[in-house]
Amino acid sequence: MANIEFPTEAWLEIPELADHKLILHGFGTRRIPPRIPNNKIRLMTVKQVHKSRTLILDAPQENLGKYSRFRFDSMITNQPGIALGIRTADCLPVLLFDPETKVVGALHAGWRGTGEGIAQKVVGRMGKFFGSRPVKLRAGIGPGIGHCCYEVGEDVVTTFRSKFSWWADVFSFRGSKRPKLDLARANTYQLLEAGLKEENIYLLDLCTYCRENLFFSFRRNKEEKQEQLSFIALK
Ligand SMILES: [Zn+2]
């Protein structure tokens, strides 16, 4: 991937998701302003706090702005015209789409949320509240800090080991003093355990820390405190 250049002013998309006419999605970069490229779709965000609660929107919404104060790290909706926005600068944005029941979801997964099993929980809630069948779901995993760069503490290894049978597959102990975590792989495992088909899980596979020209990275530039936006919406 190292030599691929991207357009300077374009949302990054996952082709398999972009093919679906029912939805609009995008993964933002540091080069584009965090505004939805469709004036019929309104952006909403929440106060992300590294937990695993899900905001469920199952009715038309007048005031989306109020939700920016509410503490959630994931959102699901069956309402068209609402872009579920996730802000990240190393954590992973994960977008979900059910073409059968016409439901979308978005979640924010750093190591804490991943440790709480957020991806698996959101898939479960799409089933509980909207009747989504995991076997039909599509998932897009966006840019985040990669296994190349994401050094974590031993406490993270301990947390994952106590919860996940696949924990040893998502840590690398080579090449650095501290363990490195593969967040994208951990979330892929959670989606598979939730019942998604492997061929319906798509990875952008771009590291926010390595790709300074494309992304903000909290680890690389702590003083910047800037984030890129990712979103998914039903049209
Ligand atoms: Zn990297």
pLDDT digits (tens, 9 = 90+) for 158-192: 999 999 999 999 999 988 889 999 999 999 999 99
| C-alpha 1 – ligand 1 centre gap (Å) | 11
- C-beta separation of 73 from 95 below 8 A: no
| C-alpha 144 – ligand 1 centre gap (Å) | 9
- C-beta separation of 232 from 106 below 8 A: yes
198: Cβ contacts below 8 Å, ≥ 6 apart:
192
Residue-averaged pLDDT of the chain: 94
Which of these, 67, 75, 71, 118, lies nearest to 232 by C-alpha position?
75
- Number of other residues whose CB lies within 10 A of the CB of residue 147: 16
Q: What are the helix (H) ranges across 131-215? A: 154-163, 183-194
Q: List pLDDT tens digits, range 24-48.
A: 999 999 987 778 888 899 999 999 9
Amino acid at 213: N
Residues of the chain with pLDDT under 50: 1-3
Instruction: Determine the pLDDT at residue 8.
Output: 53
| C-alpha 221 – ligand 1 centre gap (Å) | 14
What is the residue whose two structure tokens read 């584009």? Answer: 32
Which of these, 128, 173, 132, 129, lies nearest to 154 by C-alpha position?
173
| C-alpha 206 – ligand 1 centre gap (Å) | 8
Is pTM beyond 0.85 here? yes
CATH code, 15-234: 3.60.140.10
Domain ranges (residues) in the chain? 15-234
| C-alpha 173 – ligand 1 centre gap (Å) | 15
| C-alpha 210 – ligand 1 centre gap (Å) | 4
| C-alpha 199 – ligand 1 centre gap (Å) | 25
| C-alpha 219 – ligand 1 centre gap (Å) | 11
Q: Which residues of 209-234 are buried (b: 16+ CB within 10 A; e: fewer)?
A: bbbeebbbbbebeeeeeebbbbbbbb
Q: Which residues of 83-94 are buried (b: 16+ CB within 10 A; e: fewer)?
A: bbbbbbbbbbbb
Q: What are the helix (H) ranges across the chain? A: 15-18, 111-115, 118-130, 154-163, 183-194
Instruction: Determine the pLDDT at residue 33.
Output: 78
The Cα-based distances of 96 to 34, 151, 196, 207 in angstroms read 20, 27, 11, 20
